[in-house]
Amino acid sequence: MAFARFIAQIIRLRAHFPDYAIKKVRLDNAGEFTSAAFNDFCMSVGIDVKHPVPHVHTQNGMAESLIKRLQLIARPLILRTKLPITVWGHAILHAGALVQVRPSAYNEFSPIQLAFGNIAKYIPSPGIRVCGLYPNSATTEIKNGTTEEIGNICRVLVEPDKEVRQDDEPEGFKIPKGSKMLEASKGLCSVKLQRSLYGLKQSGRMWYNRLSEYLLSKGYVNNAICPCVFIKKSSTGFVIIAVYVDDLNMIGTQKEIDDARTHMKDEFEMKDLGKTKFCLGLQIEHFQDGIFLHQSNYTKRVLKRFYMDKATPLSSPMVNRSLDVNKDPFRPIEDSEEMLGPEVPYMSAIGALMYLANCTRPDIAFATNLLARYSSSPTRRHWNGIKHIFRYLQGTIEFGLYYSRNPEVGLVGFADAGYLSDPHKARSQTGYVFTYGGTAISWRSQKQTLVATSSNYAEIIALHEACRECVWLRSLIQHIQEASGVSTKKEPTTIYEDNSACVTQLKEGISRATGQTHPPRFFSYTQELEKNQEVDIQYVRSSDNAADLFTKALPTTVFKKHVQSIGMPSSRFVKRRPYLFFRGSLLRYSFSFHGFYPMGFSMIRF
């Protein structure tokens, strides 16, 4: 069918444009376009057929871009009209018609007008007015029009049986006189939005520009390092506003928070949600000497969703791996094994575990990263690994991160590498964690993209990644402290590494006599930070390196030791007291703006 339609389109174009012959056609490697009959036809009419390199879609970028554009138009039409997915083909056809009749940003006429003259040849069915909702289109105005009214216009696109006449225009909808588009064909029009509406792709950006412009005019400052954090300092205190879409989280002294709340309510319609207790799915409990972040409710929902809420708890998230590659329970799928079908929710389980690992459960980061590699071809062995993590979560539901009120230790990092953690592809594992006041604030567990020829080389790559994260964290902390008027100490950040040879080389340089060479982009960057006293690489024993938690499966005793070292207690062991935080004067409030869908609010701690 596709081949026949393509041939018919070529014949139609040759008939309509006899003076403009088709010289070249670029196609993908689909079977219907690689037939001998098609090649003979193109050769007979003088068309040169080109095929891209297999699996390189960028060589046919114009067609891929058009397909994506049609999908972006058709998908919201179906969602808006709440029609079944079976009308997808009709929605794509309507999207193609809209692309033809819509004027582009570079020309006031539509493509079909440019092809056939000033009068469009595309005529819709009798009695139907075809309209398109395109922001920034320069043909028609809408003032004070609601989303529902505009949606009524869009429904015509996929409801051909519905008739919309000139007198059916909603209140506030005006068609300007003298429009070139309407003079060409009064049955075609577009809509220009004078303000952003919820649901458009650019709504979030427009809202951020509106909010940031107002906050900056009130004396707040922000930085490219953290563009969604606004800080204002006064003679009596400070206030920090963390923005997540339409929700705010305020941190500061009482007077400054009250002032910020007052002028924000004068400008926007908003709702005061009180002291922050929930933030992006995170539960925040306030105690006298600190705060406790956890996701107990979310963990319970995940376990119940995958029918693991009554499973027997385990003490570690994964089993110890065998040194024999053929006996590794986390090896890729073999020819004799059967891949799991869609009835097993492997991808959904990985997504739920990744959300936990990225927010408040760094103890499952390595196991989750390891099992996520097989999302495209999981087996029963990998699914058993997923259930092993669930059983570990069943026994540690109330685990979280506890941040002390008066941290005695500043920013400290731990870095480590698991040499040949993936022996099947000869890749090592990078792991690092940064703590503030003894509690983790940033961590990572990821397979290295390069093949490390030695454990020393793997450690240098891991240190490079840790130093990059350290530079960003130092800049973020320094910006918040300086903008808030908090005294700062410029001292290097200590990063602990358990490879003594790697530490020696970074401090003294590589000895050429040993014949060891490493890529300058890894080694030189870390060494430069060491010379500039931004970081201080120190040696630590492997048993005391908390980054081991992110590079390998550990025995239960060592695993529990590292979990406690990064500030992960259970909520049962955190004593509940009245909320006093930061000298008794730092309060948190949450706000949600009306007119935008509430999606949570973020939290900033320094």
pLDDT in tens, 297-337: 999 999 999 999 999 999 999 998 887 888 889 999 998 99
Highest mean pLDDT among 13-17, 167-171, 580-584: 13-17
pLDDT value of position 43: 80
Give residue 120's pLDDT band: very low, low, confident or very high (50, 70, 90).
Answer: very low
Q: Please list the alpha-helical segments (H only) found in 337-443.
A: 346-359, 365-372, 380-395
- Statement: residue 140 has pLDDT above 80: no
pLDDT of residue 137: 34
pLDDT at 469: 96
Residue-level pLDDT at 377: 92
What is the CATH topology of the domain spanning 1-116? Nucleotidyltransferase; domain 5 (3.30.420)
User: Mean pLDDT highest for which of 140-149, 396-405, 521-530?
Assistant: 396-405
DSSP symbols for 126-140: TT--EEEE-TT-SS-
Q: Given this model, what pLDDT does residue 575 score?
A: 52
Residue 440's CB is within 10 A of a number of other CB atoms, namely 22
pLDDT of residue 445 exceeding 50: yes
* CA distances to 19, 48, 167 from 171, in Å: 48, 54, 10
Average of pLDDT values for 397-406?
91
- Mean pLDDT, residues 229-249 taken together: 91
CB–CB of 387/318 below 8 Å?
A: no
Cβ burial of 62 (10 Å; 0-12, 13-18, 19+) is: exposed
Q: Report d(CA 221, CA 443) in Å as an integer.
A: 28
Work out the pLDDT band at 191, boundaries 50, 70, 90: low
Of residues 302 and 191, the one with the higher pLDDT is 302
Those residues whose C-beta lies under 8 Å from the C-beta of residue 224, and which sit 6 or more positions away, are none
Cα angle vertex 369, ends 376, 447, to 5°? 95
- Higher pLDDT, residue 135 or 78: 78
- pLDDT-derived band at 414, boundaries 50, 70, 90: very high
What are the angstrom distances between the C-alpha of 164 and each of 94, 128, 179?
A: 16, 6, 20
In terms of pLDDT, which residue wins out, 319 or 32? 319
Average pLDDT, integer, range 169-176: 53
- 584's CB contacts (< 8 A; 6+ apart) are none
Mean of per-residue pLDDT scores for the chain? 79
Q: Is 60 exceeded by the pLDDT of residue 258?
A: yes
Q: Which of 148-152, 226-230, 461-465 has the lowest mean pLDDT?
A: 148-152
Question: What confidence tier does 19 reach under pLDDT thresholds 50, 70, 90?
Answer: confident
How far lies 120's CA from each of 97, 113, 126, 183, 367, in Å?
12, 5, 15, 11, 60
Q: How far apart are CA 333 and CA 371, in angstroms?
A: 12
Question: Confidence band (pLDDT; 50, 70, 90) for 458?
Answer: very high
| Confidence bin at 161 (pLDDT 50/70/90) | very low
CATH superfamily of 294-576: Ribonuclease H-like superfamily/Ribonuclease H (3.30.420.10)
Model pLDDT, residue 135: 38
> What are the boundaries of each domain within the chain?
1-116, 207-274, 294-576
pLDDT of residue 601 exceeding 70, the answer is no
Share above pLDDT 70 across residues of the chain, in percent, rounded to a whole number:
77
- Spatial separation of the C-alpha atoms in residues 307 and 310, rounded to whole Å: 7
pLDDT at residue 168, rounded to an integer: 46
> What is the percent of the chain with per-residue pLDDT over 90, rounded to a whole number?
42
Dihedrals φ, ψ of 478, to 5°?
-65, -40
Give the model's pLDDT for residue 378: 94
Mean pLDDT of 388-417: 93
Q: Is 201 or 268 the better-scoring residue by pLDDT?
A: 268
Instruction: Answer whether residue 367 shows pLDDT above 60.
Output: yes
User: Do 1-116 and 294-576 share a fold?
Assistant: yes
Quickly state the pLDDT bin for 488 (edges 50, 70, 90).
confident
Average pLDDT on 165-176 reads: 49
Cα–Cα nearest to 386, from 413, 424, 347, 430 = 347
Q: Is the pLDDT of residue 134 over 50?
A: no
> Residue 356's pLDDT band (boundaries 50, 70, 90)?
very high
Q: Which pLDDT belongs to residue 1? A: 64
What pLDDT digit, counting tens, does each position of 270-280 carry?
Answer: 888 888 898 88
Q: Supply the pLDDT for residue 164.
A: 39
346 vs 115: which has the higher pLDDT: 346
Looking at per-residue pLDDT, the higher value among 81 and 193 belongs to 81
Among 53-57, 61-65, 108-112, 327-331, which stretch is predicted with the lowest mean pLDDT?
Answer: 53-57
- Residue 519 predicted with pLDDT over 70: no
CA distance 555 to 356: 22
Distance from C-alpha of 466 to C-alpha of 139, rounded to nearest angstrom: 53
